[in-house]
Amino acid sequence: MKGFMKNILITGAASGLGKAIAKEICSSENNLLLVDKNEKALEKVAKSLNQKYYVCDVASASDVEKLKKYVEKNFSNINVLINCAGVWNKGDLSKLEDKHFAKLNKLEVIKNVIDTNTFGVIATTTVLSPILIKNGSGYIINISSQSAVETEEFCPVYNASKHGEYNYRKAVQRDLAKHNVKITDVCPGLMNTNLFKNAGDPLPNEVMETQGLNPKDVASAIKYLLELPHEITIPSLEIRHIKNY
């Protein structure tokens, strides 16, 4: 996809890996539309990079429909969709009597994890892939997780959300390929971001700093994918810190 302006939409762009991706691929060759539900943080990132932004909660069907209309009006030739919005929760079923884990597993929290991590990816792909197909080419990159390829008993809901997204990608990849649209799941392990802190379950700083991937390094991998010849596709890419096998 080298040699021409790429219009790239990034969800979850206000912080963490989404923000790192935006910084990594922001260039004269790329025109970004940054999307997040946190308007204040999103606006700050967009202004720092001199890029457009749109406030949208991908867990909301109506928000995603409005995003589609905005894209059709302003980015009709969108080339790339990067699904990076994601949330976390934790808690073995046997530990739910503990107040901490009970709070992390309120039904509205569980629903938000599924709605953001699974429905959000399906929703944006459903409404935006027709634009890519119509334009005859495109690329969808989903920021998935090692939890999509493993089963970890301490985060069953998060596992379910990522397994659902991962298998959705596998189910649609051949159909999209027939229309010259490729799709990749990037599956990082532990990353040094605020994902766990935002969920109310932060990991010790020592663990994050010694075993967590640097978001900038993962963003560099995304940039690499975008720079590959379009006929080359990588269905799934796993990334881990060497100390976090």
- Percent of the chain exceeding pLDDT 90 equals 93
- Residue 84's region, left for phi above 0, alpha for psi from -120 to 50, else beta, is alpha
Whole-model pTM: value is: 0.96
Which tens digit of pLDDT belongs to each residue from 7-62?
A: 999 999 999 999 999 999 999 889 999 999 999 999 999 999 999 999 999 999 99
Which tens digit of pLDDT belongs to each residue from 197-227?
A: 999 999 999 999 999 999 999 999 999 999 9
Domains of the chain and CATH, by start:
6-239 (3.40.50.720)
Instruction: Please tell me the predicted confidence (pLDDT) of residue 152.
Output: 87
Q: Taking residues 79-103, what's their average pLDDT?
A: 96
